[in-house]
Amino acid sequence: MLRNVVDYFQRLSSGFGQGWTRFWFTPSDPATLSAIRLCTGLVVVYLHATLLFDLIAFFGPNGMLPADEIAPLSGATFSYLNFLSQPAELWAVHLVGLAVLVMFAVGFWTRVTTVLALVVFLSDINRAPMITSLTEPIAAMVLLYLCLAPSGRYFSVDAWLARRKRPSVADPDAANRPSTFATIATRLIQVHLALLIAMMGFSKINSEVWWIGTGMWWLMARPESRLVDVTGLYRWPKLIDAWTHVIVLFELVFPLLVWVPLARPLLLGIGVFVWGSIALVTGDLTFALMMCIASLAYVSPSTLRACCQRSEPVAVPNAA
Partner 1 sequence: MDDERQLTASENRVHQPIRMHRVPMNKTESSDGRGNHVTWSAEVRSAASLLLFIHLFAVIVAVTTYTQPSLLQRRLHELCDLYVRNLHLSAYPVTYPFARFHLTHANPTDVDFSCEMTIDSAGPDAAPIVIPPPGLQPLVRYRRYQALANATGTLAEDALDDGAAGILPRAIGGSILKRRDAAQGEFRVRAHYLPEIDDMATVESGDRAPLENYSNTYEAQVFVSGDKVEILRRSSTLEVAPAEGNAQPTNTPPTSSPPNTPPPQNR
Of 78-107, binders to partner 1 (CB under 8 A) are 78
Instruction: Decide whether 108 or 214 has the Cβ nearer to partner 1.
Output: 214
Q: Which is nearer to partner 1, 79 or 110 (CB)?
A: 79
Contact yes or no for 316/253 (Cβ under 8 A): no
C-alpha pair distances (Å), 161 with each of 37, 70, 167, 310: 18, 45, 12, 16
Residue 91: exposed, middle, or buried by beta-carbon count in 10 A (0-12, 13-18, 19+)?
Answer: middle
Neighbours of 163 (CB within 10 A): 15
Interface of this chain with partner 1, residues 116 to 135, rule: CB under 8 A: 122, 125-126, 129-134
Cβ proximity to partner 1, 46 vs 109, nearer residue: 46
Select 85 or 108, whichever has its Cβ closest to partner 1.
Answer: 85
Euclidean distance between CA atoms 69 and 74, whole angstroms:
10
Residue 209-228 contact track with partner 1, rule CB under 8 A, x = bound: x----xx-xxx-xxxxx---
CB of 1 to partner 1, least distance (A): 27
x-or-dash string of contact with partner 1, 147-186, rule CB under 8 A:
--------------------------x--x-x-x-xxx-x
∠ CA(248), CA(279), CA(42), 5° rounding? Answer: 120
314 lies in the site for partner 1, by CB under 8 A: no
The CA R_g of the chain, rounded to the nearest whole Å, is 23
**Which residues make beta-bridge pairs with 28?**
179
Distance in angstroms (rounded) separating the CA atoms of residues 187 and 115 = 19
What single letter denotes the amino acid at residue 270? I
Beta bridge partners of 93: none
In this chain, which of 90, 284, 293, 314 binds partner 1, going by CB under 8 A?
A: 284
Which span (3-11, 107-115, 154-162, 229-237) binds partner 1, by CB under 8 A? Answer: 229-237
Q: Nearest approach, Cβ of 215 to partner 1 (angstroms)? A: 6
Select the span of 1-9, 153-161, 162-170, 282-290 touching partner 1 (CB under 8 A): 282-290
